[in-house]
Amino acid sequence: MKDLFPKLTVLSLCFAVVLTVSVFVFAQAAFAEGAAATADETKTALTPEEVSLNQTYVIAIAVMVGLGSLSAAYAVGKIGAASMGAAAERPELLGRALIFVGLAEGIAIYGLLVGILILLLKMK
């Protein structure tokens, strides 16, 4: 059982990296689709400043989701190990310990929400 927690932490970190890459690809595709739609409507190409701004938005979204996921993975790994240790000694603490793990997982949700908000802000 002691060997399980480092494996779960590594698995969480791998999931965070995969989530970051997938959000980066999704945001890049969404911006390219939006740029193609506006180029068809106005028959003008994007200026280099607009392309640079789109790339900055994509990088900001990837950083927000990535850092949120990585920090949540780290927090869940540390809090999960400590809470399971406490629950092994006093089983009545298990319910309260799981609440703290859920609070740590909320960090990833906040990062994902900020990334979605940046994407929706840019799509207007």
Q: What is the pLDDT of residues 61-78, one digit of tens each?
A: 888 888 888 888 888 888
Mean pLDDT lowest among 33-37, 47-51, 59-63: 33-37
In Å, what is the CA distance from 15 to each residue of 29, 81, 106?
Answer: 21, 18, 15
Top CATH class of 4-123 equals mainly alpha
Alpha helix ranges (H) inside the chain? 4-42, 48-89, 94-123
Q: Is the per-residue pLDDT at 48 higher than 70? A: yes
Q: Mean pLDDT for the chain?
A: 78
Q: How confident is the model at residue 80 (pLDDT cuts 50, 70, 90)?
A: confident
Q: Domain extents for the chain?
A: 4-123
